[in-house]
Amino acid sequence: MILELGRSHRYDITYRAIVMGILNRTPDSFYDQGRYFAFDAFLARAEGLVSAGADFLDVGGVKAGPGPEVGTEEELERVVPAITALVERFDLPVSVDTWNPVVLEASLSAGAVIGNDISGFGHPDYLPICARHGASVVATHIRLGPRIADPEPGYGDVRVEVREFLRAKAQLAIAAGIPAARIMVDDGLDLGKTEPQSLELLRSTDELAALGYATFLSASNKRFLGDLVGTDVSDRHDATLAAHALGIGLGARVLRSHDVAGSRRVADVMAEILAARDALGAPGEVPAGRR
């Protein structure tokens, strides 16, 4: 399978998962709590992620969960100069984590090549803007919407509902003129899901991968992992890497990560394991290289 990030970056993700480094330009993100909000700290963090092996970088100016209102102008001020600086410094694709079409347009004009929209393309202008710029997209499942508390989410069958939601969103992207190779699907772990629901979705990553689009895994340091192992956000590193290994084994090929170095190692090891598995062939078959 080939994944395209914008018009100029192509990745063979048959076995190798690629790693997105998370860059928050928010003072209240759930993980770093604003540690990298200052511009100098943001750039230093970006340098570290690139050195650790990030394949691309994701910039967000508004956190997904409830919090103080952030207007369009403020989000633009947080995000656009950051994207401009990253594009000038690194030869890597840059993603913008926004559901605001005004911020999307400005970010793509500044050099970003991916629209990462946790609202599930809630605004009708989102996909046409991405298509016009030749951008890739991340379609994410969310039950109520960004910034809205959802403490008791209810589903009939969470696996089926999330999968069909994402199938429909991917089809909307194709109808808007975005090639399938530029579409990623994310089941939105923790976004309107309880711990058992998120775990069920993680365990059924293969069903999401069967849709035929690059499967995007957003498990890094999430609440459901902390609930599972009884740790706070500062101590979910091992749980995150375990989730990444499981997800890759089941077909995930894009890892959104705070710990790029750890996720890169997991992705590289899993790529070797998966390639070796396929090289062994069917039971009783002698691999070509051993005849």
pLDDT band at 30 (very low <50, low <70, confident <90, very high): confident
Q: Which helix (H) or strand (E) holds 272?
A: helix 260-280
Beta-carbon contacts of residue 244 (< 8 Å; ≥ 6 apart): 17, 217, 219, 220, 252, 255, 257, 263, 266, 267
Nearest to 267 by CA among 23, 55, 57, 46: 55
Mean pLDDT for all residues in the chain:
94
- Kindly tell me if the per-residue pLDDT of 284 is higher than 60: no
- Kindly tell me if the per-residue pLDDT of 266 is higher than 70: yes
Mean pLDDT throughout 230-241?
A: 94
Rounded CA-CA distance 256/8 in Å is 21
Q: What radius of gyration do the chain's Cα atoms show?
A: 18
What are φ and ψ of residue 68, in 5° steps?
Answer: -60, 145
- Kindly tell me if the per-residue pLDDT of 137 is higher than 50: yes
Mean pLDDT throughout 6-12?
A: 96
Burial 258-269 (b: 16+ CB within 10 A, else e): bbbebbbbbbee
pLDDT band at 94 (very low <50, low <70, confident <90, very high): very high
| pLDDT for 136 | 98
Rounded CA-CA distance 182/134 in Å is 9
| pLDDT for 230 | 95
Q: Which helix (H) or strand (E) holds 103?
A: helix 101-109
Ranges of each domain in the chain: 2-280
> Parallel, antiparallel, or unpaired for β 18-24 and 136-140?
unpaired
pLDDT band at 291 (very low <50, low <70, confident <90, very high): very low
Mean pLDDT throughout 270-287?
A: 78
| pLDDT for 27 | 87
- Our measurement of the distance from residue 145's CA atom to the centroid of its chain's CA atoms, rounded to an integer in Å, reads 17
Mean pLDDT throughout 69-77?
A: 96
What are φ and ψ of residue 226, in 5° steps?
Answer: -65, -40
In this structure, of 28-32, 77-81, 143-147, 225-229, the range with the lowest mean pLDDT score is: 28-32
177 close to 131: Cβ distance less than 8 angstroms = yes
Rounded CA-CA distance 85/45 in Å is 13
| pLDDT for 285 | 53
Q: 69: which DSSP letter?
A: -
Considering the domain delimited by 2-280, tell me its CATH architecture. Answer: Alpha-Beta Barrel (3.20)
pLDDT band at 290 (very low <50, low <70, confident <90, very high): very low
Tokens 């939601």 identify what position? 165
> Parallel, antiparallel, or unpaired for β 9-12 and 2-5?
antiparallel
Indicate the SS3 state at residue 222. coil
Rounded CA-CA distance 35/92 in Å is 23
| pLDDT for 2 | 97
| pLDDT for 66 | 87
